């Protein structure tokens, strides 16, 4: 029991450290297509094992983003993992990554799924550090994603996916 409790506390401290570290983005300009391709290679085998299809769309095709590529990877990985959890056991499960110009001046990246969506009763809580609905969750993923976007002077939005599911959109200026 003591070992289990110690392990739980260590996991909590590691999650807290990840969340509270001072994020300083190392800005570079890169094609969004490159990030999406990297995420497909990284997450593809796990998605395939779970029977989840993934698609990407970038408009215009050569769309670029000025940001810290590693931090953007982490934010999108967090969103993809959450979508994977939401889609567990769902037939026809799919995740879509999309990028487009946002009001002509910025870039919008979105992660959409066709899962059950986010319960309206908890929408105000999902970005609160350590809030989780998962039995083994830490409540750090969405909080960290939000923090990553904020250090890029951006914003995160949650909306319903047409036809059912959730869409998280990261907006960058």
Q: What is the mean pLDDT of each run of 10 residues along the chain (173 residues)?
A: 67 58 86 96 95 96 95 94 92 97 89 89 67 58 87 93 92 94
CA distances from 27 to 5, 20, 104, 155 (A): 40, 20, 21, 17
pLDDT value at residue 66: 96
pTM (2 d.p.)? 0.82
Strand order in the sheet with 155-160: 53-59, 94-102, 106-113, 166-172, 155-160
Q: Is 12 helix (H, G, I), strand (E, B) or coil?
A: helix
The conformation of residue 116, written as its DSSP 8-state character, comes to S
Helix (H) or strand (E) holding 159: strand 155-160
């Amino acid at each position: 029991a003591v070992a289990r409790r110690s392990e739980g506390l260590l996991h909590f401290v590691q999650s807290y450290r990840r969340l509270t570290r001072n994020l300083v983005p190392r800005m570079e300009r890169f094609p969004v297509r490159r990030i999406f391709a990297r995420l497909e290679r990284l997450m593809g085998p796990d998605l395939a094992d779970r029977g989840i299809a993934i698609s990407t769309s970038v408009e215009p095709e050569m769309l670029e983003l000025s940001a810290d590529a590693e931090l953007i990877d982490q934010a999108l990985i967090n969103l993809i993992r959450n979508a994977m959890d939401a889609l567990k056991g769902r037939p026809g499960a799919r995740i879509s990554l999309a990028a487009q110009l946002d009001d002509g001046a910025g870039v919008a990246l979105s992660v959409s799924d066709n899962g059950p969506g986010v319960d309206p009763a908890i929408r105000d809580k999902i970005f609160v550090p350590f809030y989780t609905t998962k039995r083994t969750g830490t409540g750090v993923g969405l909080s960290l994603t939000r923090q990553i976007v904020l250090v890029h002077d951006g914003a995160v939005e949650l909306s319903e996916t047409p036809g059912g599911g959730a869409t998280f959109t990261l907006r960058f200026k």
